């Protein structure tokens, strides 16, 4: 692994995150995956370490760190458990960042501070049953009613929807206006009319809950509107642009875990009278995995550096997510292949990598959407 001029503080963050992942997450990772156990205690400890609001200034309860520090920590967590890193990523990149960039001081004081300090957990809700990649095709509607809004509709694929304390969600506030009629709101759990649907049975990241949200005449105060009416779609897209840096970093972490397991196994397993690490076919797989991981990490670093410098990074974040997620899926698949029949067994922890990896090519914008974003940026 190449460290690009990491500061002593960033080196400490990496060491702290790696130690936490190996001592606190690793022992229970198979059980949490098998039984879909939300890592409540582990998330609380991550909050105490400052990992749940890493890019939020200290005045709002965060760690006051840069994006590079964030992706360093996220990669280490993802290398052990992608599900927990997903919870961390959503709270940092999509929830805290939206409130930091768009929230009023009152919203920051009430919502951002407890989220960034780890006292509360946030969720982000954009998708609906009929609108996945076509996010602007949402049907959930908020109707103005004096100093409040009445919300009705259904949202789905909500990460941490069951275990979160509050949700940033997007809905229509003006009919027939397309994406310009979408607004962003904060809703707290316990609001009358807000209910969570069943927890989805997922292929991977099973320790991270995903569910539907139902809004039945939910009354939300006008003070919970984020930004201005009609700004919701812009807020959502900006958040996803930054969030994709996090997903790319998660992908690198998972791919690295697959590579480490592949190298370790190849140096233990003997076939035909010698270690399989001596076979050219295995060496080729390891070389390709390692090369792609380093390339993916550099793409993630590039996007993070641009973000920290206040420069345009949307194309670069999509490139990083596209390549890193493909690398994760490929590395996990090859890891299972090298392990053979043992890789198909749960006890080795390899099949989980393969199941978890697939979501990185789907959530926060599919690989197909990333290609559209990249080409649009190049052709504009």
Q: Domain spans of the chain? A: 8-120, 123-230, 241-379
Protein fold of 8-120: Butyryl-Coa Dehydrogenase, subunit A; domain 1 (1.10.540)
The answer to whether 250 touches 234, Cβ cutoff 8 Å, is no
Catalytic residue among 9, 294, 364, 368: 364
pLDDT reported for residue 2: 45
**Residue 148 pairs with which residues in a beta bridge?**
145, 221
CA 303 to the chain's CA centroid: 16
Active-site residue flag, 334: no
φ, ψ of residue 366 in degrees (nearest 5): -65, 170
pLDDT reported for residue 323: 98
pLDDT reported for residue 135: 79
Protein fold of 241-379: Butyryl-CoA Dehydrogenase, subunit A; domain 3 (1.20.140)
Distances (CA, A) of 241 to 97, 215, 303, 315: 11, 27, 10, 9
CATH of the domain spanning 123-230:
2.40.110.10
pLDDT reported for residue 282: 98
pLDDT reported for residue 1: 45
pLDDT reported for residue 54: 98
Q: Pick from 96, 107, 94: which is nearest to 239 by CA?
A: 94
DSSP states along 268-310 = T-EETTEEGGGSHHHHHHHHHHHHHHHHHHHHHHHHHHHHHTT
Q: In the chain, which stretches have pLDDT less than 70? A: 1-4
């Amino acid at each position: 692994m190449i460290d690009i001029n990491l500061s002593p503080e960033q080196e400490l963050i990496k060491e702290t995150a790696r130690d936490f992942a190996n001592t606190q997450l690793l022992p229970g990772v198979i059980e949490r995956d098998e039984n879909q156990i939300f890592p409540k205690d582990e998330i609380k400890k991550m909050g105490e370490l400052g990992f749940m609001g890493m890019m939020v200034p200290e005045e709002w309860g965060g760690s006051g760190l840069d994006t590079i520090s964030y992706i360093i920590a996220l990669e280490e967590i993802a290398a052990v458990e992608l599900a927990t890193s997903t919870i961390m990523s959503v709270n940092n990149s999509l929830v805290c960042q939206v409130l930091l960039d768009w929230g009023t001081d009152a919203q920051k004081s009430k919502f951002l501070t407890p989220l960034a300090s780890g006292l509360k957990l946030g969720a982000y809700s954009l998708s609906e049953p009929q609108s996945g990649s076509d996010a602007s095709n949402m049907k959930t509607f908020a109707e103005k009613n004096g100093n409040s809004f009445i919300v009705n509709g259904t949202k789905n694929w909500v990460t941490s929807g069951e275990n979160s304390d509050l949700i940033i969600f997007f809905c229509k506030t003006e009919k027939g206006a397309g994406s310009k009629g979408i607004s962003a709101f904060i809703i707290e759990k316990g609001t009358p009319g807000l209910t969570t649907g069943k927890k989805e049975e997922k292929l991977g990241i099973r320790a991270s809950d995903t569910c539907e949200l139902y809004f039945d005449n939910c009354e939300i105060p006008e003070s919970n509107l984020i930004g201005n009416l009609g700004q919701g779609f812009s807020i959502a897209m900006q958040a996803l642009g930054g969030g994709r840096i996090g997903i790319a970093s998660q992908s690198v972490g998972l791919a690295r875990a697959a590579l480490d397991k592949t190298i370790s196994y190849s140096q233990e397993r003997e076939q035909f009278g010698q270690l399989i690490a001596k076979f050219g076919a295995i060496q080729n797989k390891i070389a390709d995995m390692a090369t792609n991981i380093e390339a993916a990490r550099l793409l993630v670093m590039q996007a993070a550096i641009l973000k920290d410098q206040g420069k345009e990074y949307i194309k670069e974040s999509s490139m990083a997510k596209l390549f890193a997620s493909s690398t994760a899926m490929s590395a996990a698949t090859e890891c299972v292949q090298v392990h053979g029949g043992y890789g198909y067994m749960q006890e080795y922890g390899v099949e989980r990598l393969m199941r978890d990896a697939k979501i990185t090519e789907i959530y926060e914008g599919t690989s197909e959407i990333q290609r559209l974003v990249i080409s649009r940026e190049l052709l504009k």
